[in-house]
Homo-oligomer: A and B are copies of this chain.
Amino acid sequence: MPSLINSKDQLLRERAASVIPGGMWGHMATRYLGSAYPQFFKRADGCRVWDVDGREYIDLMCSWGPNILGHHHRAVEDAAARQRSLGDAMNGPGEVLVELAELLVETVAHADWAMLQKNGTDATTACVTIARAGTGRRKVLVARGSYHGAVPWCTPSLAGVTAEDRAHLIHFDYNDVASLETAVEQAGNDLAAVVVTAFRHDIARDQELPTAVFAKRARELCTAADAALIVDDVRAGFRIDLAGSWEPLGVRPDLSAFSKAIANGYPLAAITGNDRFREAATKVYVTGSFWYGAVSMAAAIATIRTLRDTKAIIGMNAAGERLRSGLDAAAKKLGLSLRQTGPVSMPMVLFKKADAFCSAALREGAYFHPKHNMFLSAAHTDRDIDLVLQAADAGMAAAAQVA
């Protein structure tokens, strides 16, 4: 009787259908998920969310990335509240802007400077614009299938997009050196930038870490052409390495885009750059009404410091290992074929009966996503992961029963 179980969610969906096109837009529309998934949420705390019908879930999405320390993290909320009591959007930024820019420059290895925005798309678009301004060139290389945002030059849907919006994009295949070299050749002396996600995290396919060979070759090609290497760290940023997701590879980009986890859920994005592109960054005009809001900046400072001081990435990796090995063991026991790829703290779990698995696990209180990478937070304890694994057992049993 789903109409009873989901009664409040159902009622809200009906109201939404009349005042919102299709009832919901964008990546949080549950029409991309099974019908068991709630559309509307009542509250969140730590690594848990409650839907409007009062059901509790251990959350493996972290709001699709942002809540890296868990909801209502004390240090972040205190910093935000302190700044809020002073002021948020004012006629100019607060001192926190300078503190945050200094913290980013100190934390992100390639960074000589930083600028702030609101959306991940703002950050990736600003990087591309700065690369073009700094090189005087137009061609931008992107990997086939990579997501870099939701405006005409990069959005996955072509509705409302003109050919000209993408006239200067050239595609290569992620981790494929030869295809990157071909694309660079194709750009000729008009190469402005290579844009590449921190790792390959395309929808509904196995994740892939960048090979060192690929990352180093991308750096070499950009250096040789005096073009910008842009790492889109919007999704992975602050979960792989606080110094930047390609730092463990020994490869430093010219420009990086960050957002999602930067302020533990407060709306913020950032780009960092090196001195090669500092002057170009002064020439582009990028701005927004809320880009100077001090509360999100105060939250970001507290978030980054907490991640650093608590070595949160180590903890998230341990939680990720526990989840991955637990899921593997459970699948093996049932003879289910399961694919888990990418960084353990950003789990991607793909198998043929994903919908049956996810719906059943959801009923047991674990919020999995059937085809998008997930996100662990520093709030996920061993006990939480064990509860997730219990729910996953129910999910696998359901999946095993599907013909």
A contacts, CB < 8 Å to B: 12, 15-16, 18-22, 24-28, 30, 38-45, 49, 52, 59, 61, 63-67, 71, 86-95, 97-98, 101-102, 104-105, 112-115, 118-122, 125, 128-134, 138, 150-153, 155-157, 159-162, 164-165, 167-168, 234, 259-260, 265-267, 273, 278-293, 296, 367
Residues of B within 8 A of A19 (CB): 98, 101-102, 104-105, 112-114
How many Å from the CB of A254 to the closest CB on chain B? 13
**A269 (CB) vs chain B CBs: closest residue:** B289
Report yes or no: A26 in contact with B260, Cβ–Cβ below 8 A: no
List 12 interface pairs A-B (beta carbons < 8 Å), by A numbering.
A19-B113, A20-B98, A25-B287, A26-B285, A40-B93, A41-B87, A42-B86, A89-B265, A132-B162, A159-B285, A259-B289, A267-B296
Count copies of this chain in the complex. Answer: 2
- A86 vs B88: C-alpha distance in the bound complex, in angstroms? 21
Report yes or no: A152 in contact with B125, Cβ–Cβ below 8 A: yes
Residues of B within 8 A of A130 (CB): 160
Residues of B within 8 A of A41 (CB): 87, 90-94
How many Å from the CB of A204 to the closest CB on chain B? 15
Report yes or no: A115 in contact with B265, Cβ–Cβ below 8 A: no
A164, A266, A290 — most chain B CB neighbours (10 Å): A290
Residues of B within 8 A of A52 (CB): 94-95
Residues of B within 8 A of A40 (CB): 92-95, 97-98
Residues of B within 8 A of A113 (CB): 18-21
Residues of B within 8 A of A134 (CB): 160
Report yes or no: A157 in contact with B285, Cβ–Cβ below 8 A: yes
Report yes or no: A279 in contact with B66, Cβ–Cβ below 8 A: no
**A192 (CB) vs chain B CBs: closest residue:** B160
Report yes or no: A101 in contact with B16, Cβ–Cβ below 8 A: yes
- A27 vs B43: C-alpha distance in the bound complex, in angstroms? 36
Report yes or no: B151 in contact with A151, Cβ–Cβ below 8 A: yes
- A239 vs B211: C-alpha distance in the bound complex, in angstroms? 54
Residues of B within 8 A of A119 (CB): 118-119, 122, 288-291
Residues of B within 8 A of A260 (CB): 289
Residues of B within 8 A of A132 (CB): 160-162
Report yes or no: A91 in contact with B280, Cβ–Cβ below 8 A: no
Query: Could you say which of B42, B114, B115, B289 contacts A94, with CB atoms under 8 Å apart?
Result: B42
If A87-B43, A94-B41 touch, does A25 touch B165 (CB 8 Å cutoff)? no
The 3 tightest CB contacts between A and B, nearest first, are A26-B287, A44-B87, A133-B160
Report yes or no: A22 in contact with B105, Cβ–Cβ below 8 A: no
**A155 (CB) vs chain B CBs: closest residue:** B285
**A118 (CB) vs chain B CBs: closest residue:** B118
Residues of B within 8 A of A125 (CB): 151-152
- A59 vs B234: C-alpha distance in the bound complex, in angstroms? 35
How many Å from the CB of A240 to the closest CB on chain B? 17
Query: Could you say which of B63, B67, B129, B282 contacts A21, with CB atoms under 8 Å apart?
Result: B282
